[in-house]
Amino acid sequence: MKILTLVERRADYSRMRPILKELYKDTFFEVYLVVTGACLLDVHGKDVDYIKEDGFIINAEIPMFIQGERNTNASMVKALAKVLSGMTDEIEKFKPDLVLTGFDIGANLATTIAAAHMNIPVAHIQGGEVTGTIDESIRHAMSKFAHIHFPATEDAKNRLIRLGENPDYIFNVGCPSIDTIVQTPEMHKEILEKKFNIDFSKPTILLIQHPVTTESDESKKQILNTISALKELGVQALVALPNNDAGSSEIIDEIKNSGLSWYPSLSTNEFVNVYRNIGAIVGNSSSGIHESSTFGMPAVNIGTRQQDRERAPNVIDVGYEIESIKAGIEKALFNAEYRESVKNITNPYGDGKSAKRIVELLKTVNLKGIVQKRFYE
């Protein structure tokens, strides 16, 4: 089977990585991998280099954004148009039997639209989830273009059925980023402390705060409040720069001027092992929702970006106000009873075996006649 797939951001690589590993080692599949989006940008850590270091063959790179350009709502739309054209060319060149896309971001949406229009079956990972921002609209739109669905929870599966998708082609497989956590070998703490100039014996948080596209004008104020909360508490923080959605330029400016220790991106091994040694993750990354409970670690979720997404009891939801953020971090780091209560909770997003399930299902699913969809009632 010829499969075309893509990687656009640090976050979707953490999900695609275990799937790519399974696909590459199975001779049933011929994989065509495209890298685009923020993965090609220096300011966001140029994650394409990590993908190459992991040994994956990249068949095409499609520049989607302009290096150094300020990220606005309009620039997101222009980039979407650019990558739609580029992905159409790659699909036409490779002629895949199936296109594998995922999540809720621009290049994946463009690829899904292109493949569906070219009568190529699309399998979509992690549809059916609800959140804030433009991501939810993108996610549900992708589900309507897709033919095979790999949601991460039963709740998401049921929502896809309510959206009119055929339950015969909906498979709850869990979130593949949990596979990455389970599979990543441990690094010595001292190596990380030296590289990031950090002391894990002190209360430490990892901050990842992305812009909310529907609140992009508020991005500067939102990150300044978070930075103020951290400084007033005096906790040690390691900051990963945000994605490149509208409003991210303002967030990056303020982080770079904050005096906090920041990094454009972290390799998968570094990211997982930093996670293993911190006291809490703070911000609005989906990582705090999807992955933190696997570590039995509190996550302080700020604002509306992950609004209504299914979550474990380790997630502490707070507003954008400084005092609210401070209260959440204090509970996450210093409330011993609360910390103990979340140590052994079950992650609703799976058990770390998602990639194997996805690949096995791709080998057995019947693609005949699948491109002609009907609303399921």
Regarding whether 8 and 141 lie in a shared domain, the answer is: yes
Q: In which band, very low, low, confident or very high, does the pLDDT at 87 lie, cut at 50, 70 and 90?
A: very high
The values of phi and psi at residue 36, to 5°, are: -150, -165
In this prediction, residue 132 has a pLDDT band, given cuts at 50, 70 and 90, of confident
Region 81-110: mean pLDDT is 98
Range 223-242 average pLDDT: 98
Range of the domain at 11: 2-175+351-364
In a domain, 180, yes or no: no
If one counts the domains in the chain, the total is 2
pLDDT in tens, 150-160: 999 999 999 99
CA 250/CA 57 separation, integer angstroms = 34
- Asked whether residue 342 carries a pLDDT value surpassing 90, the answer given is yes
Q: Look at residue 370 and tell me if it is in a domain.
A: no
> What does the pLDDT look like over 10-51, one tens digit per residue?
999 999 999 999 999 999 999 999 999 999 999 999 999 999
| 149 and 271 together in one domain | no
Q: What is the mean pLDDT of residues 55-66?
A: 97
One domain, residues 102 and 229: no
Domain CATH for 302? 3.40.50.2000
CA distances from 191 to 45, 197, 199, 202 (A): 20, 10, 11, 16
Give the pLDDT mean for 119-137: 96
Q: Are residues 109 and 215 in the same domain?
A: no
Average pLDDT in the chain: 97
Do 314 and 333 belong to one domain? yes
Tell whether 74 is covered by a domain: yes
Radius of gyration of the chain (CA): 20
| CB distance 150 to 128 below 8 Å | no
Q: Which amino acid is at 69?
A: E
Do 97 and 13 reside in the same domain of the chain? yes
- Measured between alpha carbons, how far is 123 from 110 in angstroms, rounded to an integer? 14
> Is the same domain home to 121 and 208?
no
Q: Is 141 exposed, middle or buried (0-12, 13-18, 19+ CB in 10 A)?
A: middle
Note whether residue 130 is domain-resident: yes
- Mark whether 16 and 156 lie in a shared domain: yes
Residue 84 pLDDT > 90, yes or no? yes
Could you tell me if residue 267 is inside a domain?
Answer: yes
